[in-house]
Structure 1
């Protein structure tokens, strides 16, 4: 199949007034310059409010012709040709249209959104070709097929009912979207959704479509046209340009004595042995767990094979085969000595994200804690060589997993497992966790914190300085700190920062003068240059533009910053020292049985 990119833009009243429509059109206009696939690449575009607007992009027209679909209960495609056309034929026409859409709808007073109907109509247009549907959304889908009303208040009635019912709010509102998503997957259509909102949009329901089609959800809340437009563009540019494939099928095989137990990630599964991926890219991870159902001989080997059949953006059909052979051992000490902390934690994270959808949060937190305790208990019982007198007084940790309790505590205190917070934030966190690469799993829950105010004294040759523990003990009132988790970055400013540092970093002389709609600029001084170098290097490492947010002591943004300092005691959990004591006591209790 050729590379097909179809753009679907929200032009409802709120999207226009908050700048989402203009930012989306601008991002598309810039990003299409890098569309891959060569002369076979095809594009299409539609917009929507309470109706759906397709555009005829054929170049013989003086300007694109708008075709309106008013029936959002029984949607259809107004034309079978000329809606999706070769990019080389319509480049200028599409650029002109993207410049005009914000003007055409600038006085739009229609508040309703027919998002689900618009997605179905767009996919009907794409059915003959397959491809990638890129959706820009701002408000809750309120009219047409698959529409729904706000459910967030149900989980906010009171703490006790919120705790019991929260898992229901993390499930799709009904089966309509799942059925539709399976159809999209069969048509080899991948859906990516860019949500730029000011209010609740029910991500739990909407994300079913990207999850089933191998797509992705991007979330900008609360959206600011000033500070978030650059991230929206860069996210779209990377989404389009990164290494990727389409119409893929993947199968994992293993040696006798093992069997595949479960796949976790974004895909469609119609047969027991294979998973279907209408889209696959370099940022997505599929986790596979295995069940051990037979004995292995000491020194024998277990073999694993992953085969992925896919089509490149240039239309080449390829197969990628990855083989792995591991030696079997009955010596548990060898297992702990060679343990991979990042991989083990990635399993904890993804299984927890799956569990949140079906179990109450206290049960999920308890399960995560017990996984950590049982792992360390096994090491203490079967591998530790410390004398019995020393064992009773200290927590014995294997060298490779010495940070496992810290990351377990970070997971328990994460957005996904906290009792407070918005349902949409938790839904998005779950969606990210299920597809995140192993390298990004730990930063998601245990961000990187760097002191900015003393960068001028940093050694030359180091782009990113050493990081600080996530504890308020390391945050001073005269400092500036950068905290990033791979997706967002918070810049915290204390109340007593030196005037010269403020001038060098922000171009102002007082903390109060720093605008809340913060944009990082580079000034002509060493400190500002080093800060910009750090941010750019992190963006390169993470393949994410990083959404920068300013946090000040004494206001809600400062509270947000301190909520990430997971080594401190908080209303939502123990301090790191208290958690270590708890883990130690639980291990002791198990040893005494």
Structure 2
């Protein structure tokens, strides 16, 4: 076997780095991830350390020689795969004692790759090496044995795997190969070009079928011209690098409208027999090549704006179930995406929903209903049929309480899609129409993964227990993903079935998928974590943001299967249990009435994040949050990308009137410099101040009631604060002064930053003494304050969490332990 040398080990060439590796190899594999991890943080009397939100994800500490090449890239980046614990307990008893969740958070297809596809090395040499026993892929943490002729699997320990000859001999160049430079032995995340054994059929083209509601309600909202303009503007940006992309259109009201696009002009074909839907023309006439039929598609979109300009011939009947079945028929030969726009309740034909059932949901005692509770079984069965054909659905839902978001979300939930909800949408509102246009453009332009399956393997003794996210599950442990959106997040709860052996544990997730360009890849992500016998190391090596998210997934499961109140109680009791375990097992005391409540720095934000979850719209049981709003919040908590999730849970508040002079300007890399965030407390608000709070879904600009005329003039071109109107606006006016330019730059950065995925935050101006509803809405984002709720018909005696201040919450935790 050819031996490694200094000029052939990637990222290991400098003398300084060699010394660092030598030093690391002598350190304990379970040492803290960063300094001061073991330093106790007194919580009582102190505001949350919100600056810790900006810290990078903790890095697991493993020996340098844990990987066969000692590459700096051997560990899978946390962007793709992250564990709640960066040190794994050696047995289940230790895990139970800590009360910490053990979960794996996955984001296998992050959006950052759209900017740089080469971030994940692509292996195209044709050699795909897997363990003969467990079928795990070779990775940087295997070991070569028997003089390099065989390799030992780090996942299952099997030691009779043959090393491929190609690792030492390049049969194309007929020269010696350097096995130590192969990407799969140097990188924890790689893409293999899939061979024929991983394909049941050739990669299919990206196909999109748009299902558009044309009922009277949809026409009143004005969605049709807006979405038509958005699609016209995006037609050249739909992923189509190989020229194979195809599109089709269906409109739905009392009947299903198909559109023939194979001729010079579009042709409408109405199908009134909604109980036995079938295709009125050949498949090739209804789903056409985007390049070949571009002029006809643009003609149709232009006509849609006129055809449904008024509701003279429109009805209130909606046969969405039949339209969805028709869309699946169009996509069944190839798979693809249904992108559905719905503004009215499906009320006729298969999948018809009852407004009575929705009314019952809305009037159920607060906290006693289920979250995301569907009212029809049709949509789950339809999703199963879609999965078999590799069909995914994305839902754009409009309206208020007369539509059933929870039921319509069932299809994206089980096909890997996304749901966007626009309550009270009105196209005449420029803010609403701008948001819809941009979110449609983002979604249809997205380079997605298609026809994917995903599986995770663990070291012996570890097992995958529960799975969370938008997918279908196939026994024993395979996730079926007809569509893998950029930044889609998944969570796997792990369990320890028997005592772990050795010093290191391994997790390997493999995803077989097709790109929008028709390339078939296998993405392999391998993570190595130290095993510890010390409970202190569990706490010092916890990732608190991942921990909060894993707890949220588990609470959502309880809210979906039991009641919303059960989910809230789980979050509260779990937090108390973790704090109690730390004080008992690490500090060695139980807090008394006069004692301080301490946790380690790596858990200092957990109580604040859990309180934020308890106050979220998804778990709010005061009766003031409409069912559809709570449903959408639950959907976001389940599906948002990791980079945006913590911001949605715990918004950022910025003080603009006194921000540093460099805030709102560009740094050397042309990135906007953000002002420092401040704690979410009304104590931070000054009457003359201007503040911005944002959570990735909305941006609220607060104008104090004593704001000086100069601030109003510079920001809004208004002379006096009492002339400022509260409400939604598409953007701030473009004024020629430094303050306006800096604030607009900050807002633009918040709206266009890649971390925002397919969502475009709405912008609202809130005057302190203006519209009371908007003022109260802004104040609900100040999560560290005590909140007051007016009683109403649905208000019941609820758990007190929604109204607690941060300090009351800490006192409640202390009393509970």
TM-score by length of 2: 0.68
The residue number in structure 1 matching 2:708 is: 498
Q: 2:697 aligns with which of 487, 499, 514?
A: 487
Deviation at 1:463, TM superposition (A): 1.7
- For residues 391 and 252 of structure 1, the distance between their equivalents in structure 2, rounded to whole angstroms, comes to 46
* 1:475 alignment counterpart: 685
Partner residue of 1:173? 375
| Structure 1 match to 2:457 | 253
Q: Choose which of 2, 6, 17 in structure 1 pairs with 2:220.
A: 17
Give the Cα–Cα distance (whole angstroms) in 2 for the partners of residues 291 and 389 of structure 1.
30
Q: Which residue of 2 aligns with 1:97?
A: 300
Aligned to 2:642: 438
The question of whether the paired residues in 2 share the 8 Å contact of 1:354 and 1:434 is answered with no
Shift of 1:45: 1.2
Taking the TM superposition and a 5 Å limit, the aligned residue runs for 1:43-442 are 43-58=247-262, 60-61=263-264, 63-79=265-281, 80-108=283-311, 109-150=314-355, 151-157=357-363, 161-163=364-366, 165-167=368-370, 170-225=372-427, 226-297=430-501, 300-384=503-587, 393-419=595-621, 420=623, 421-442=625-646
Contact 2:319 2:352 in 1 (8 A): yes
- How far apart, in 1, do the equivalents of 2:421 and 2:746 lie? 24
Is 2:756 aligned against 1:542? yes
Secondary structure of 1:33 counterpart: coil
Deviation digits for residues 282-338 of structure 1, max 9, x if unmatched?
2201111111110124x5211111010011111111100111111110111111112
**How far apart are 1:525 and its partner, in Å?**
1.3
Native 8 Å contact 2:783 2:806 kept in 1: yes
Quick one: distance in 1 between partners of 2:291 and 2:300? 15
Measure the CA separation in 1 of the matches of 2:503 and 2:239. Answer: 46
Give the CA deviation at 1:385: 6.8
In the other structure, the counterpart of 1:42 is 246
- Residues 312-321 or 478-487, more deviating: 478-487
What is the alpha-carbon distance in structure 2 between the residues aligned to residue 110 and residue 494 of structure 1? Answer: 47
Which structure is higher in helix share?
1
* C-alpha contact (below 8 Å) 2:401/2:628 kept by paired residues: no
Q: Is the 8 A contact 1:463 1:530 kept in 2?
A: no
Distance in 2, matches of 1:436 and 1:256, equals 31
What CA RMSD, in Å, does the superposition of the two structures yield over aligned residues? 2.0
Distance 1:496 1:113, change over 3 A: farther
CA contact (8 A) 1:26 1:98 kept: yes
Q: How many residues are paired up? A: 579
Matched position secondary structure for 2:457: strand
Of 777, 784, 797, 1:567 maps to 784
Question: Contact 2:729 / 2:764 at 8 angstroms: preserved in 1?
Answer: yes
Measured after TM superposition, the shift of residue 542 of structure 1 is 2.1
Q: Provide the secondary structure at the position in 2 that maps to 1:383.
A: helix
- The CA deviation at 1:456 is 7.1
| 2:284 counterpart SS class | coil
State how far apart, in whole Å, the 1-side matches of 2:555 and 2:573 are: 12
Change (3 A) 1:489 1:214: same
In structure 1, the residue corresponding to 2:472 is in which secondary structure?
coil
**Structure 1 residue 245 displacement after superposition:** 0.8
Question: Conserved in 2, the CA contact under 8 Å of 1:139 and 1:199?
Answer: no
Q: What is the distance in 2 between the residues matched to 1:131 and 1:528?
A: 44
Q: Please report how far the alpha carbon of residue 223 of structure 1 lies from its aligned counterpart in structure 2 after TM superposition.
A: 1.2
Post-superposition Cα deviations, 1:212-264, rounded to whole Å, max 9, x if no partner, equal 11000011112132212222222122222334210001111111101110110
Q: Which residue matches 2:206?
A: 3
Q: CA deviation at 1:277?
A: 0.3
CA contact (8 A) 1:451 1:482 kept: yes
Higher Rg of the two aligned structures: 2
C-alpha displacement at 1:200, in angstroms? 3.0
Distance 1:253 1:321, change over 3 A: same
CA distance in 2: counterparts of 1:206 and 1:324, whole angstroms: 36
Give the Cα separation in 1 of the matches to 2:593 and 2:530: 31
Does the aligned pair in 2 maintain the 1:123–1:189 contact within 8 Å? yes
Deviations 1:188-224 (A, max 9, x none): 1110111122443111111000111100001111213
Specify the SS of the correspondent of 1:143: coil
- How many Å apart are 1:186 and its aligned residue? 0.8
For normalisation by structure 1, the TM-score amounts to 0.93
1:519 aligned residue (718, 724, 730)? 730
Deviation at 1:342, TM superposition (A): 1.2
1:328 aligned counterpart, secondary structure: strand
Residues in 1 aligned to 2:735 and 2:725: alpha-carbon distance in whole angstroms? 15
Cα pair distance change 1:334/1:148, threshold 3 Å? same
CA–CA separation in structure 2 for the residues paired with 1:77 and 1:479 = 61
Q: Secondary structure at the match of 1:37?
A: coil
Aligned-residue offset at 1:496: 2.2
Partner of 1:591: none
Higher mean displacement: 239-248 or 573-582 = 239-248
Contact 2:557–2:567 (Cα < 8 Å) also in 1: no
- Hey, what's the Cα distance between the residues in 2 that align with 1:474 and 1:164? 32
Question: How far did residue 515 of structure 1 move?
Answer: 6.4
* 1:457-472 correspondence runs (5 A): 457-459=661-663, 461=667, 463-472=673-682
Q: Say whether the 8 Å CA contact 1:55–1:64 is kept in structure 2.
A: yes
Write the distance in 2 (CA, Å) between the matches of 1:156 and 1:197: 15
- Whether the aligned pair in 2 keeps the contact of 1:154 and 1:162 (CA below 8 Å) is no
> What per-residue deviation string (whole Å, max 9, x for no partner) do you get for residues 421-447 of structure 1?
111111111112112223322212211
Offset of 1:528 from its aligned partner?
1.4
1-structure distance, mates of 2:719, 2:400: 32
Q: Aligned partners of 1:515, 1:448: CA distance in 2, in Å?
A: 21
Deviation readout 1:1-24 (Å, 9 max, x if unpaired): 101111122221122122111111
Instruction: Identify which range, 329-338 or 429-438, moves more after superposition.
Output: 429-438
Name which of structure 1's ranges 273-282 and 549-558 shifts more when overlaid on structure 2. Answer: 549-558
Q: Is the 8 A contact 2:452 2:514 kept in 1?
A: yes
Distance 1:476 1:116 in 2: 53
- The separation in 1 between residues aligned to 2:367 and 2:635, in whole angstroms, is 21
Cα deviation for residue 512 of structure 1 reads 3.6
Structure 1: give runs of 5+ residues left out of the alignment: 588-593
SS for the counterpart of 1:276 is strand
In the alignment, the residues of structure 1 paired with residue 448 and residue 704 of structure 2 have an alpha-carbon distance, to the nearest angstrom, of 43
What per-residue deviation string (whole Å, max 9, x for no partner) do you get for residues 458-510 of structure 1?
55646211112111111233222221111222222232222221122222224
